[in-house]
A and B are shown apart, each in its own frame.
Chain A
Amino acid sequence: MPMLDHLWIILALPLAGAAINGLLGKNWPKSAVNSVAIGSVSLAFLAVVETVREFLQLPANQVPWVRTYFPWMTAGIFKVNFALQVDQLTIVMLLTVTFVGTLIHIYSTGYMAHEGGYYRFFSYLNLFMFFMLTLVLAANIVVMFVGWEGVGLCSYLLVGFWFLKPSAINAGKKAFITTRIGDFGFTIGILLLFWTFHSVDFGTIFSQVSGMPSDTMTQAGVLTTICILLFIGAVGKSAQLPLYVWLPDAMEGPTPVSALIHAATMVTAGVYMVARMHPLFSRAPIAMLIVAIVGAATAFYSATIGLVQTDIKKVLAYSTVSQLGYMFLACGVGAYTAGIFHLMTHAFFKGLLFLCAGSVIHAMGGEQDMRKMGGLRKVIPVTFWTMFIATFAISGVPGFAGFFSKDEILEAAQSGPHANLPLWLLGLVAAGLTSFYMFRLIFLTFFGKQQFDEHKVHVHESPKNMTVPLMVLAFFAIFGGWFAAPKLVGGTNYFDAYLHPVFAAYEVQTSVGQEEAAARPAGEEGGASPAMDLVHALTGPPVIVGLIGILLAWWFYIRRPDLPKKLASSMYGLYTLVLHKYYVDEIYAAVIVRPLLWVSTNVLWHTVDEGLIDGTVNGSARLARETGGKLRELQSGNARSYASWVVVGAVGVTALLLGIWMKVH
């Protein structure tokens, strides 16, 4: 098992790539930078493939496979090892991250070809891969936290990649600071975990948890507290209500970054973390409910904002927030596999959507406003067709990847063990909104009249190194969800079945029930005949709602292009409210940012810093100076005054001695 013994190689490859490009790449030709960057990630991908091959041969009792490389921190009973682990969940994440990551690296060589700081971009991108893989491979929550913070750092660096643009710098800062609020909760959660279990290793924690009684809806114990704190971290990282505000702004970064970090991988870290910590969450029903509510609310809320955005990347950003909400909804109703499944398919189709958007922007020479596009279908056919496929996938059209995963989530919300009908309805409406705004995007961009001047904008299809990743991802946007397909005809959902051991191991059950659950393949349902299942799935509410959304978009933007304006003016108040994203940024600015700035400026800066700290330092300096100033006047240069001082001193010493002498005698 060479690869399984040396899991660190998967991490070392992108890290080495980042170091080489970052330190040496400045004056290298682009081809050299390319080969280092793409070479390192694609080698990492191959290493992952080899890991998967070896992992498949592993007997079940050796899963999760944990490798400890060196003790990292030891302080009393607080011991942290640099340990990596592989289980089925890790495998899914590893494959997704390295595969999509490699494609986006290749795409970036085309997209960033004319940009300055080329080596810097790829160095950051590789560094991001390193941290993301650390996060995924971690065998304890502290190592996971390293990756967690590291991807945040890379996100900051890449959002603010064009560091001469004030909006980009601000967006980077916003991303960093907003996620820091969540990380505050996450950090306390880690401390509380250690406080409770005296360990930070997943294995140790989980085996202790499985012996603990569950919290109930009415009685919230330490597990609930831990889960809520950890979830606060996930809310920040995965851009959920109320901390989602940084993600749309993060679109200031280059589009491949949006695709890789702000759609496919980093923002899904929160979902991965919740899934990883499922033994705790499963025992904290209140926390689960909060996760589900936040997820469903976010899915619906940001979908409504996506309806009226005109910036092509902003639509996708709100769509990402919305889809992440779906994943949390899945976790919240206990359907972790569905959440991870959606995470994977989402990585394919949303990564693809962003890359296509990048290709469109590239073709339009930097234009991002959809109202100024139109009719691009014939001009950039590859981009059009791949984006069309991705849109079908995200809208949940049967047969495409998103259909399987989204269907599974909504099914779990409707009839799973933690079913919650209001949340299911919310998710269902959000599904309709999703297909509406996605097809709005497609129709505005690729159909209708050309809204730009052909002589001014030289529209051209992107080069091969951009279109090939698009086509590969499009393939997976269609077939990436087919692991679940047999279920439609009464068979096994292979994805569920594959992940089943991870989530079954610590299920809240008696020991007998546990074995039973492990023995039973997931997704197996008795009752209806296979054909009925198929018909049922293809005509289920999610599909119907999705089709309604598509038809409405067609009606509004192809058939009657004048309608949106009329509707907007007839519902002016609501329209402006949504157009301005419910004024959340403004409210945050008024309620949090400005008071904070005021306090910082007037209290912390002018009073504490300038008054207290500077005052103390300067005050002691002034005291010394003034004392010195007075004392130096003793040095008058007048010999007689010196003599007087000598006399005074002599008299003083004599008097002292006399005093002592008198006391003695």
Chain B
Amino acid sequence: MNVVPISYYLVLSAILFGLGVVAFVFKRNIITIFMSIELMLNAVNLAFVAFARAHNQLDGLIFVFFVIVIAAAEAAVGLAIVITIAHNRRSLNVENVDLLKF
């Protein structure tokens, strides 16, 4: 049977991760940034799964579960923060949230 080579997955994973990074750095909307984090996490997940499949090992899959759990937790906390910021500042622009400095 024809198996898609692992490099395809890895390249896709890299592209997705890169997009996530670019979005994270250049976007201003906090929700978009949040989404780009999810994108990066899932790009990594993809790489894990691909490796697990290629090496016929379960470790990668287990890692993926952990990542999904953490992503869920992060989403819960993160969205709560987003709501609080939106509530207090009437804005979702991260440029304005820069008090934690110097």
A637 touches B25 (CB 8 A): no
Q: Contacts A643-B25, A647-B25 known; A637 to B101 CB distance under 8 Å? A: yes
CB atoms of A635 and B25 under 8 A apart? no
Partner of B100, one of A632, A637, A643: A637
Known contacts A638-B94, A640-B94: A647-B100 contact under CB 8 Å: no
Smallest beta-carbon distance B3→chain A, Å: 26
Cα–Cα, bound, A643→B101 (Å): 15
Q: Is the CB of B101 within 8 A of A636?
A: yes
Indicate if the CB atoms of A636 and B98 lie closer than 8 Å.
Answer: yes
A82 → B minimal CB distance (Å): 63
B21 CB-CB contact with A under 8 Å: yes
A644 at the interface (CB under 8 A from B): yes
- A647 to B102 CA separation, bound complex (whole angstroms): 21
A643 to B94, CA, bound (A): 12
Cβ of A632 and Cβ of B102 under 8 Å apart?
yes
Closest residue to B37 on the A side, CB-wise? A643
Assign chain A's interface to a size class: 10 to 19
Partner of A644 from B25, B33, B94 at Cβ < 8 Å: B25
CB of A639 within 8 Å of the partner chain: yes
Q: How far is the CA of A636 from the CA of B98 in the complex (A)?
A: 7
Min CB distance B95 to A, Å, is: 7
Report the bound CA distance from A632 to B28 in whole Å: 23
Interface centre among B24, B33, B97 (most CB of A within 10 A): B24
* Interface positions of B from 44 to 102, Cβ below 8 Å from A: 94-95, 97-102
Q: How many residues from B make CB contacts under 8 Å with A?
A: 14
Q: Give Cα A644–Cα B25 distance, bound, in whole angstroms.
A: 6
Set of chain B residues within 8 Å of A636, measured between Cβ atoms:
98, 101
Complex CA gap A273/B98 in Å reads 81
Taken residue by residue from 632 to 659, chain A's Cβ proximity to chain B (1 for < 8 Å, 0 otherwise) reads as 1101111110011001000000000000
Q: From B27, which residue of chain A is reached at the shortest CB distance?
A: A640
CA distance A635 to B99 in the complex (A): 10
- When the two chains form their complex, are residues A640 and B101 in contact, meaning their CB atoms are under 8 A apart? no
- Taking a contact as CB atoms under 8 Å apart, the answer to whether A639 and B94 are in contact is yes
B11 CB, nearest partner CB in chain A, Å? 16
Q: What residue of chain B has the Cβ atom nearest to residue A651's Cβ?
A: B21
Question: Is A643's CB under 8 angstroms from B24's CB?
Answer: yes
Point out the residues of chain A lying under 8 angstroms from B94, CB to CB.
Answer: 638-640
In the bound complex, how far is the Cα of B100 from the Cα of A637, in angstroms? 5
Contacts known (A640-B25, A644-B25); A635 close to B102, Cβ less than 8 A? yes
The minimal Cβ–Cβ distance linking A355 to chain B, given in whole angstroms, is: 76
A637 near B99 with CB under 8 A, answer yes
Determine if A638 and B25 form an interchain contact, defined as CB atoms under 8 angstroms apart: no
Question: In whole Å, how far is A512's beta carbon from the nearest beta carbon of chain B?
Answer: 95
Q: How far is the CA of A639 from the CA of B99 in the complex (A)?
A: 11
Q: Closest chain B residue to A629 by CB distance? A: B102
Question: Residue of B at shortest CB range from A639?
Answer: B94
Chain B residues positioned under 8 Å from A647 (CB to CB): 21, 25
Quick one: CB contact mask for A304-331 with B, threshold 8 Å, 1 for yes?
0000000000000000000000000000
Find out whether the CB atom of B100 lies under 8 angstroms from the CB atom of A640. no
Nearest CB on A from B19, distance (A): 13
Query: Cα distance A632–B102 when bound, in Å?
Result: 6
User: Are A640 and B102 in contact, CB atoms less than 8 angstroms apart?
Assistant: no
Contacts of B99 in A (CB 8 A): 637
Q: Which residues of A contact B26 (CB under 8 A)?
A: 640
Interface residues of A in 606-665 (CB under 8 A from B): 632-633, 635-640, 643-644, 647
Name the CB-closest residue of A to B36: A643
Task: State the Cβ distance, B22 to closest chain A Cβ, in Å.
Answer: 9
Bound Cα distance from A262 to B28, whole angstroms: 89
Q: Does the CB pair B95–A638 fall under 8 Å?
A: yes
Q: Specify which chain B residues have a CB less than 8 angstroms from the CB of A640 in the assembled complex.
A: 24-26, 28, 33, 94-95
Q: A519–B95 Cα gap in the complex (Å)?
A: 110
A638 to B99, CA, bound (A): 8
Interface residues of B in 12-45 (CB under 8 A from A): 21, 24-26, 28, 33
Residue of A nearest to B30 (CB): A639
- A632 contacts which chain B residues (CB < 8 A)? 102
Contacts of B21 in A (CB 8 A): 643, 647
Nearest B residue (CB) for A633: B102
Cα distance A637–B102 in the bound complex, in angstroms? 8
**Which of A635, A640, A644 counts the most B-chain CB atoms under 10 A from its CB?**
A640
Tell me the bound Cα distance from A638 to B26 in angstroms: 12
CA separation between A633 and B28, bound complex, in Å? Answer: 21
In whole angstroms, how far apart are the Cα atoms of A63 and B25 in the complex?
97
> Which residue of the partner chain B has the closest CB to A638?
B98
Asked whether B24 lies within 8 Å of A637 as measured between CB atoms, the reply is: no
**How far apart are the CA atoms of A303 and B64 in the complex, in Å?**
108
Measured CB to CB, the nearest residue on chain B to A635 is: B101
Q: Which residues of B contact A633 (CB under 8 A)?
A: 102
B97 touches which of A639, A643, A644 (Cβ 8 Å): A639
Chain A residue nearest in CB terms to B97: A639
Task: Give chain A nearest CB distance to B28 CB in angstroms.
Answer: 8
**Complex: A377 Cα to B47 Cα, angstroms:** 120
For A644, the chain B residues whose CB sits under 8 A away are 25
B81 to chain A, nearest CB (A): 11
Q: Closest residue to B28 on the A side, CB-wise?
A: A640
In the assembled complex, which residues on chain B have CB atoms less than 8 Å from the CB atom of A638? 94-95, 98, 101
**A422 to nearest B CB, angstroms?**
85
- Complex formed: what's the CA distance from A643 to B21 in Å? 8
Nearest CB in chain A to that of B24: its residue: A643
| Neighbouring A residues of B98 by C-beta, 8 Å | 636-639
Contacts of B102 in A (CB 8 A): 632-633, 635, 637
Give the docked Cα–Cα distance between A635 and B95 (Å): 14
Q: What mask results when residues 8 to 27 of chain A are scored 1 for a CB within 8 Å of chain B, else 0? A: 00000000000000000000
User: How would residues 148 to 189 of chain A score, 1 for a CB under 8 Å from any chain B CB and 0 otherwise?
Assistant: 000000000000000000000000000000000000000000
User: Distance (Å) between the CB of A522 and the closest chain B CB?
Assistant: 91
When chains A and B are docked, how far (Å) is the Cα of A633 from the Cα of B102? 7
CB of B96 to closest CB in A, whole Å: 10
Given A637-B101, A644-B25, A647-B21: 14 more A-B contacts, CB < 8 Å:
A635-B101, A635-B102, A637-B98, A637-B100, A638-B94, A638-B95, A638-B101, A639-B33, A639-B94, A639-B98, A640-B24, A640-B25, A640-B94, A643-B25
Closest CB pairs A-B (n = 4): A637-B101, A637-B98, A638-B98, A637-B100
Using CB atoms and an 8 Å cutoff, list the residues of chain B in contact with chain A: 21, 24-26, 28, 33, 94-95, 97-102
* Between-chain CB contacts (< 8 Å), 19 pairs: A632-B102, A633-B102, A636-B101, A637-B97, A637-B99, A637-B100, A637-B101, A637-B102, A638-B95, A638-B101, A639-B94, A639-B98, A640-B25, A640-B26, A640-B28, A643-B25, A644-B25, A647-B21, A647-B25
